[in-house]
Structure 1
Amino acid sequence: MKRYLPLLLFLIGVLVLAAVYFFVIRKPATEETEEEGSIEVSLIDRPIASLTPSQDGHWLKLRIEKLLSGADSLDYELLYTLPDGRTQGVPGTIDLKGESQIERDLLLGSESSGKFRYDEGVKEGTLTLRFRNEKGKLLVKFSTKFHLQSAESRLTSADGRLVYSLAKIPSKTFFVTMETFGLANAPPGEVSAGPYGLFSSGQSAYPGTVELSGGTIYMLKGASWAKVEAGEADDIGIFIAVSE
């Protein structure tokens, strides 16, 4: 029996390596192939996403309009970074049958038996949307970083391209700056930057000056785009830069 022991150990080792290969190593390759197989969606046909902070800054209301045509389900994932460097996540899956828009309240923290624990000091994170067909195959993925701020005069996108300087710093008000993926209306030209959205926990107007590199700045006003003259804006909202 002892002379067969080395052979037995060798066979066990081969089986372990095979299991590691099939269940660990091959899985990322499958996911990568799935991502590469996604379709191209024009800017005007993309969904429009927003994250609106609650008055205490502990919740973000996810709103998605213009849902992707042909999609059967949606996977969303909100990841955010804590001051100590840890990453927390809020995942979810939504059946899109019969839906025209989606709203979800996402907690920056955790809940257990009706008791809430809030994560303090959250400033940045990532929102990812994955639209799938009825067979669960990925159609397209959208992802954007968001920036959560309060008690600051300069509101900035995570990539630093959009800067909105408030005329006055409002008290106890939270703001989120993010890319919104799609556009509600056709732009006045070729979009070179954006769309970027600024969303607030307050109900007031927040005038200020906006900076966005890449061309002429426009702001969505109702059903049309208005040119931002000299960088002066009468409120936050959705902004784009159009190449000249």
Structure 2
Amino acid sequence: MNRALPILVVVVSLLGIIGGGFLAFKKLSAPPAKSVTELEVKDETTDLTLEDSPYTTLVPGPSCEYTLNVSQIKRSPNSVEYEIVYKNGEGVTQGATGTIKPAGSTSASKKILFGSESSGKRRCDPDVSGGAITLRYRNDAGKVIGKANAKFSLVENGTSVLIDKLSVSFDKKATGKVLAMGTMGLPGAAPGKVSEGPYGVFTSSAAKLSPTVKISGSGDLYVWSGTSWGKVTGRTTNLSALVLQAP
């Protein structure tokens, strides 16, 4: 029995090594679990069409205040999640995120601060020149069921503002902040087949603007008056929605 004992110990040790190696191999060869982020990215591939996208505006206010307005909300999302990303004059990326609850309504708005506020003291991010807005629709289970995004460009006391294929020019410096952006969706039924846009131009000034506007591409320029679309060439005071209608 004394001679058999060392042999037994060796056999048990070998079995332990083989078993441990098998378990390790099984663990290493198992597919990695998908993270929440990976699943989220997959959900977000569903872009809303122009017809389903909400009409979205970012209106400059006093100081570094902005109002995000979302209307013409379709597909009845449980919530609309917003993400605004921009760079300040120092090249530092900043942003604002949050959730808007339509609560059965087709419109909602949110006050946004391009900066920070603490103990009654406000610090505004300097020299913001533009950024991007992303909206995500979530259902009752919290799953993303659609998204839309657009860029915006911002000038202060400037003579022109550009965004994508839209150019806006003033005869003289426009007072205050002027923001040009893609509005994602339309405020009313399209005047025809839209080839470029929609865009919108918004200002912090109470004065009515009358710039020269142009959208690069082939087609006719149409602007929204508040109740209907009208064809224009060059100068206009109707800046809340602009599209290029395909010929």
Cα deviation 1:66-114 (Å, max 9, x = unaligned): 1223211111111111222221111101222233321111011112233
Query: Which of 172, 178, 182 is residue 179 of structure 1 equivalent to?
Result: 182
Instruction: Compute the displacement of 1:27 (Å).
Output: 4.3
Secondary structure of 1:44 counterpart? coil
Provide the rounded CA distance (Å) in 2 between the counterparts of 1:219 and 1:186: 12
Residue 6 of structure 2 corresponds to which residue in structure 1?
A: none
- CA distance in 1 between counterparts of 2:212 and 2:48 reads 34
Find the aligned partners of 1:97 and 1:237 in 2 and give their Cα distance: 25
Post-superposition CA distance 1:163-208 (Å, at most 9, x none)? 011123233x101111111112222221000000000111222112
How far the C-alpha of 1:122 sits from its partner, in A, is: 0.8
Deviation at 1:32, TM superposition (A): 2.4
Evaluate the alpha carbon distance shift between residue 45 and residue 27 of structure 1 in structure 2; reply closer, same or farther with a 3 A threshold: closer
Over the residues paired in the alignment, what is the CA RMSD in angstroms? 2.9
Q: Do structure 1's residue 201 and structure 2's residue 200 form an aligned pair?
A: no
Matched, 1:111 2:117: yes
| Aligned residues of 1:217 and 1:241 also touching (Cα < 8 A) | yes
2:215 is equivalent to residue 212 of structure 1 = yes
Structure 2 letter corresponding to 1:54 = G
What are the superposed Cα offsets for residues 20-48 of structure 1, whole Å, 9 maximum, x if unpaired?
A: x547xx44431222123x3653x233211
Q: 1:50 aligns with which of 36, 41, 57?
A: 57
Runs of 5+ consecutive residues of structure 1 not aligned to the other structure:
1-9
2:74, 2:82 → 1: CA distance?
A: 14
Give, as a single letter, the amino acid of the residue that structure 1 aligns with 2:83. E
**C-alpha distance in 2 between matches for 1:236 and 1:96:** 26
Aligned partner letter, 1:236: L
Partner of 1:243: 246
1:28 and 1:170 mapped to 2: Cα distance?
A: 43
In structure 2, stretches of 5+ residues that fail to align are 1-20
CA distance in 2, matches of 1:207, 1:179: 19
Q: CA 1:98–1:237 in 2, change beyond 3 Å: closer, same or farther?
A: closer
1:49 partner amino acid: T
Aligned to 2:142: 136
Instruction: Say which one has the larger Rg.
Output: 2
What is the correspondence of 1:141-152 to structure 2 with a 5 Å cutoff?
141-152=147-158
Distance change in 2, residues 1:119/1:216 (3 Å): same
Q: Which residue of 1 aligns with 2:228?
A: 224
TM-score by length of 1: 0.83
Measure the CA separation in 1 of the matches of 2:108 and 2:48: 22
How far off is 1:210 after superposition?
1.0
Q: Give the AA of the match of 2:42.
A: T
Q: 1:55·1:174 contact (CA, 8 Å) conserved in 2?
A: no
1:118-170 CA distance string (max 9 Å, x none): 1111111111100111111111101111111112111211x2x1001112323
Cα distance in structure 2, aligned partners of 1:22 and 1:114: 45
Structure 1 residue 235: Cα displacement: 4.7
Give the structure 1 partner of residue 15 of structure 2.
none
TM-score by length of 2: 0.82
Q: Is the 8 A contact 2:225 2:238 kept in 1?
A: no
What is the alpha-carbon distance in structure 1 between the residues aligned to residue 244 and residue 73 of structure 2?
24
Aligned-partner Cα distance in 1 for 2:99–2:188: 28
Identity percentage over the alignment?
34
Q: Aligned to 1:205, what secondary structure does the other structure show?
A: coil
